[in-house]
Structure 1
């Protein structure tokens, strides 16, 4: 068995880049990824609740604000055990919603439009789609820690292969079934396509709750990344003292972090485009460029030539796709925010990050 010498993504980056600067850059990308995930959950809550009550005369900003108030207590989270409990209910809700949507689509098989599925690349939408896909798989920042926590580390590769394979199959089938059911009218959040109003409202509320349950995990990760980066050896004090009394001053920095995600969410309220932009930026770096580069550097003497060439190929593809995706997503987002582009139904739908 090998000897474990580096236990985190940051430690690997510091070794490869020969200094703490490399670790800080990777940490900055991880913090950005986690915070952007939090922002997306707020945007998603606003969209879903707005379409639940379209005749109420309340804006998306109002519903995002309601979600923000519900999430403020996250600033007091200091235990991963509490985050895990919340994430458990997030998983339960996720499974239920998936089942409801798939069953609904299967009941409308007579209306399916498989001819609408076209296998070609549209330069204006493919980079955004790719960014969304990459964003939904960005877990590399946590993998060294996860591998280190396993009892039998030899099964890590098997676990990674099967979980990613099954996830890819499910997402492909889910996307196909959803698109052939609603075709060109598919919305960014597919639950808004449900024609049965009581069902749509119920599912949207459940999905909004799922988004709220999903928020604490990336928020907790972002807070910990920031504390480890800025207060190494001097972590921020706990929000609770030894008598389990709440210390308001200790939670202020964490509350400001929640406030930051809220401000960005109401400033850039476009779920799919924001998701594509984030995936193209931090997602390609965390999932393609850096892992391949780290492997190339760490294993350059032990890897055969074809493996090193494959690493170089992944790096090149990651840089190319990420650059094009950032440009296209950024341009589309700017056009949406300045009112120069109407809602584009060809933008791929997304209802949650798995």
Structure 2
């Protein structure tokens, strides 16, 4: 999802967006490592590291207290996940509208059609079915990258080298920065991921490899695609492809990819709600969504369908893919991936940290707060401007 918007981000941020893609990979790798470090305490006698916390929320509870921490972190995580679902539906509506033009249907109507295609997600009970859709998503991802990069290199002699700017456009760059940040928001999954590894010693190596490759490939893809289309780069890169038939094939693969990507954030959002409100007494006031045989209860299905309906309503009323992504990245992305991991690290490990660790944590917090505030202001301004012009 993020790849289709990265060339648009490069158009508005120039070389600074390319640089920020690499820097964001480095910073989020570091904050991911320190977040997982907060799961452990060091035994004062043996010096051995012991895992005493299990989740992002449990780390926050240690710092802020149980009641406040669970509400704040759960809310941020839920917004992050549900907005990701909304973005998939927005992307599907935009792609279908630009692919099938011989109908009177508007973009919002195609978004509603995409909603019907993801309704079966309401019946998901475990990660096995989600993993199957994620496998299909991975295949579609490879196909899309091969097609778009192949086309870009075929047009190499026409690349727009002079169009890439060294200046920062203050009204556009914060939106680009929000897109960049949102493309690296994986921190809510890291504690669970590390906890389920067979050998946790390899977690750091895994983080270095994945973030290093992600930073390189995102910068490479965004820059090459922007060089191909220059200042005419669209919010969704497939809209720039030359012929309608070629564009239609790519768009349909992207639609399939978006629909196959939807179950994972949706299922994670449902699990968050169930853990917070539907565990049964005495843990929660409301009963569990599952019966004794592990099947979903009859009344839980409408609630799950309601969550999809809320997602599609927001997708219909905010149909601006790249700007919405930038706004979300500026709000929840900076909190979950930049500010909170450093804050928790300083509070829990203050007496163990060296001076340079403390300085880095503080600088990342300040940079995240500054970029987040600027991004919120200008992303919201861009969203309002787009509505006024339309």
TM-score range with shorter-chain normalisation? over 0.9
Partner residue, 1:119:
166
3-state SS of 2:49 partner:
coil
Q: Out of 197, 221, 224, which is 1:150 matched to?
A: 197
* Greater shift in the superposed pair: 15-24 or 286-295: 15-24
Unaligned 5+ segments in structure 1 are 343-354
3-state SS of 2:372 partner:
helix
Deviation for aligned residue 1:248: 3.8
Q: Does 1:335 align with 2:385?
A: yes
3-state SS of 1:221 partner:
helix
Mapped contact 2:323–2:382 kept (Cα < 8 A): yes
CA distance in 2, matches of 1:122, 1:224: 40
Partner residue, 1:208:
255
* Greater shift in the superposed pair: 133-142 or 225-234: 225-234
Spell out, residue by residue over 1:138-162, the C-alpha distance to the aligned partner (whole angstroms, 9 max, x if none). 0001111111111111110110111
Deviation for aligned residue 1:299: 1.1
Q: Out of 322, 328, 336, which is 1:286 matched to?
A: 336
Mapped contact 2:278–2:289 kept (Cα < 8 A): no
Mapped contact 1:7–1:144 kept (Cα < 8 A): yes
* Greater shift in the superposed pair: 246-255 or 133-142: 246-255
Deviation for aligned residue 1:243: 9.6
CA distance in 1, matches of 2:138, 2:294: 33
Q: Out of 263, 268, 276, which is 2:313 matched to?
A: 263
Deviation for aligned residue 1:119: 2.1
Q: Does 1:47 align with 2:99?
A: no
Mapped contact 1:10–1:24 kept (Cα < 8 A): no
Q: Out of 222, 228, 252, which is 2:302 matched to?
A: 252
Partner residue, 2:124:
77
Gap change, CA 1:23 and 1:247, over 3 Å in 2 = closer
Q: Out of 92, 95, 104, which is 2:151 matched to?
A: 104
Partner residue, 1:63:
110
Partner residue, 2:367:
317
For the aligned residue pairs, the C-alpha RMSD in angstroms reads: 1.5
Normalised to the residue count of structure 1, the TM-score between the two structures is 0.92
Q: Does 1:175 align with 2:222?
A: yes
Mapped contact 1:277–1:329 kept (Cα < 8 A): yes
Mapped contact 1:284–1:319 kept (Cα < 8 A): yes
CA distance in 1, matches of 2:72, 2:375: 21
Mapped contact 2:289–2:297 kept (Cα < 8 A): no
3-state SS of 2:210 partner:
helix
Spell out, residue by residue over 1:198-227, the C-alpha distance to the aligned partner (whole angstroms, 9 max, x if none). 111011011001100111100001111111
Normalised to the residue count of structure 2, the TM-score between the two structures is 0.84
